[in-house]
Structure 1
Amino acid sequence: MKIYHNLSEFTKLNNAIVTIGTFDGVHFGHQKIIRQLVAKAKSDHGESVILTFFPHPRLIIDPENQDLKMINTINEKAEILKSLGVDHLIITPFTRDFSNLLPDDYIKNILVNHIGTKHIIIGYDHRFGKDRTGNLTDLKAAGTHFGFSVEEIMEQDIHDVAVSSTKIRQAILDGDVSLASDYLGYSFSIFGRVIKGDKIGRTIGFPTANIFVEETYKLIPGDGIYAVTVEMSCKSGDEQQTPNTKHLTFKGMAYIGQRPTINGMTRNIEVNIFDFNQEIYGQDIKMNFLKFLRHDVKFTGLDALKVQLQKDKEETLNYFSSL
């Protein structure tokens, strides 16, 4: 899949099969549309194109409301779309100027002249252009004039999926990562860099990797303990001779919260990786959230916390053995 970070990078195609949207989460409903897109491109000997936007339009149109968090970072979204077989992903910077494009200009200048759209697949309620005044009727009329066809995803087809990005965000905030994964069709994950912490965990036998997530718009699950898998690149072999790097997956349990037992002041993301003792400061890792174990609570001291963490580990291992 080719990725373009601006329309100016994209070269007009002869037979572009297009869909448009933010596709946050790339959940089952989105996947249904995208699979239709890819299949149509193959049957028409064309190329599939997704036009998406960054940042999310709501953050530009309503700048006073910055509470919206995204299920995927833009890079995570791109990886998922690539796995679905999309040929081209255009990530258009969403600006005030872009939001003020009149619907007719949007269709003519972007879809027709810039992309080369011959067929567009779109939801029944899709809106575009200044003040979201453009609609499906406008697209069909323009298609007759400019020579592209419009395929509508019917309301019932979308409602049959019974899932939305809003529902998924709420499930993640509630800590219900199992439900979120059911909606998404894959495990919700966090990608971040391992940074140095205060090393309290290792004093009680549960060393943790502290994770820094660079993208401030990334949605973080609710406070608590979770069963997770951790993906990273690890060195194997004799580093002085012929070290090899392998992409490995480990089991573990993650913590999100302010560490009330030690009167913590900041919200931390930490993970205790089972059967692992390598130095990984500065390394990027991916955490896949599989199951919520318990809420964050304040214990009487580190000894009580250690006892609970041992129980958490046993519950996590039992979960993995049941899979």
Structure 2
Amino acid sequence: MKIFNSIQEFSSATKTIVTLGTFDGVHKGHKSILDKLITSSKSSGCESLVLTFFPHPRMVLQQNTDLKLLNTIEEKAVLLENEGIDNLIIHPFDHAFSRLTAEEFVKDILVDKLNISKIIIGHDHRFGRNRTATIDDLIRFGHEYGFEVEKISALEINEVSVSSTKIRNALTSGSVETANEFLGYPYFITGTVVQGKQLGRTINFPTANIEINESYKLIPANGVYVVSSMIDDKMVQGMMNIGTRPTVNGTNTTIEVHYHDFDGDLYGSKLTVSIYHRLRDEVKFESFDALKLQLEKDKQQSLDYFKNNRA
């Protein structure tokens, strides 16, 4: 898949089949749309193209929004590539872009820049300055400029919307398995291993402290989770704590992963942590000994989960 960081970067002599949207989560609801895109592009000899935006338009147009996203832009790119998309444009969204008229968007971008043959778009899609243009306007522009418009049904659009909402709600309440069912894959976070206080080492539970740079990334509810990561091309099982570490009087939220049967140096490594199951709430223990005893139980439950489930 080719990735372009703006519409201006893209150029192709081959006609394109285009869809656009945030595609946050690239979940099951999105997949039917992406399948339409890929099938249509292959049958017509065109290239598939997804146009998405960053920052998320709501982050720009609604200044006070505390919007949390299921994917960082890098994570989204990986998921879309896995779907088999030919081209991904991540265009910087700003107020100037939002002020384009409907016809400027169609002629200057879809036609002149993207070399469009067809656009696959929601039946209720609105676009152009103040979002005044509708799907009927887009169909009219299609006749004028020579491209086809394929409408995504109300049922499919509703499925995307409902799924995204349910995924976010499930993650913020700790119901990660519900979220994973809607996603079609285990929810994951990506971050860099940084230096911690190394207190886990004193009770034989060393942890990798994961730092996520993207403040907009949705982090699941505090608690202990069953997780895994690919390390040196091998899946390593583990368990993760998200929380403030009340037993040691912590105040800041941290993400710490203990990997079973792993003893390598991970400092500075960029890791993706796949999350499968929530074991329990974060708890303040009376002593390190009590904490260690609980961690032993957590580890056994984690190992049992992997034994009983194909992760």
- TM > 0.5: yes
Write the letter of the residue equivalent to 2:200.
Answer: G
Question: Match for residue 208 of structure 2?
Answer: 209
Question: Is the Cα contact below 8 Å between 2:22 and 2:52 reproduced in 1?
Answer: yes
Question: Match for residue 80 of structure 1?
Answer: 79
Question: Is the Cα contact below 8 Å between 2:52 and 2:89 reproduced in 1?
Answer: yes
Write the letter of the residue equivalent to 2:251.
Answer: M
Structure 1: distance between partners of 2:281 and 2:242: 9
What is the Cα deviation at residue 122 of structure 1? Answer: 0.7
What is the Cα deviation at residue 12 of structure 1? Answer: 4.0
Q: Which runs of 5+ in 1 are unaligned?
A: 234-246
Question: 1:33-71, CA deviations, whole angstroms, 9 ceiling, x for partnerless residues?
Answer: 011100000000111111100010000000122x11110
1:299 maps to which of 265, 271, 285? 285
What is the Cα deviation at residue 15 of structure 1? Answer: 1.4
Question: Match for residue 276 of structure 1?
Answer: 262
Matches within 5 A, 1:213-228: 213-228=212-227
Question: Is the Cα contact below 8 Å between 2:30 and 2:160 reproduced in 1?
Answer: no
Question: Is the Cα contact below 8 Å between 1:12 and 1:113 reproduced in 2?
Answer: no
Q: Which runs of 5+ in 2 are unaligned?
A: none
What is the Cα deviation at residue 229 of structure 1? Answer: 0.6
Question: Is the Cα contact below 8 Å between 1:119 and 1:151 reproduced in 2?
Answer: yes
Q: What is the DSSP-based 3-state SS (H/G/I as helix, E as strand, rest coil) of the residue aligned with 1:179?
A: helix
What is the Cα deviation at residue 280 of structure 1? Answer: 1.2
Question: Match for residue 99 of structure 1?
Answer: 98
Structure 1: distance between partners of 2:224 and 2:169: 18
Residue 120 in structure 1 maps to residue 106 in structure 2: no
What is the Cα deviation at residue 318 of structure 1? Answer: 1.0
What is the Cα deviation at residue 160 of structure 1? Answer: 5.6
Structure 2: distance between partners of 1:228 and 1:304: 23
Write the letter of the residue equivalent to 1:278.
Answer: G
What is the Cα deviation at residue 179 of structure 1? Answer: 0.8
Question: Is the Cα contact below 8 Å between 1:28 and 1:163 reproduced in 2?
Answer: no
Q: What is the DSSP-based 3-state SS (H/G/I as helix, E as strand, rest coil) of the residue aligned with 1:299?
A: coil
Identity of aligned residues (%): 47
Structure 2: distance between partners of 1:306 and 1:75: 36
> In terms of mean alpha carbon deviation, does 101-110 or 40-49 score higher?
101-110
Question: Match for residue 136 of structure 1?
Answer: 135
Question: Is the Cα contact below 8 Å between 1:232 and 1:284 reproduced in 2?
Answer: no
Question: Match for residue 21 of structure 2?
Answer: 21
What is the Cα deviation at residue 140 of structure 1? Answer: 0.4
Question: Match for residue 56 of structure 2?
Answer: 56
What is the Cα deviation at residue 162 of structure 1? Answer: 7.7
Question: Match for residue 236 of structure 1?
Answer: none
Q: What is the DSSP-based 3-state SS (H/G/I as helix, E as strand, rest coil) of the residue aligned with 2:112?
A: helix
Question: Match for residue 285 of structure 1?
Answer: 271
What is the Cα deviation at residue 113 of structure 1? Answer: 1.1
Q: What is the DSSP-based 3-state SS (H/G/I as helix, E as strand, rest coil) of the residue aligned with 2:274?
A: strand
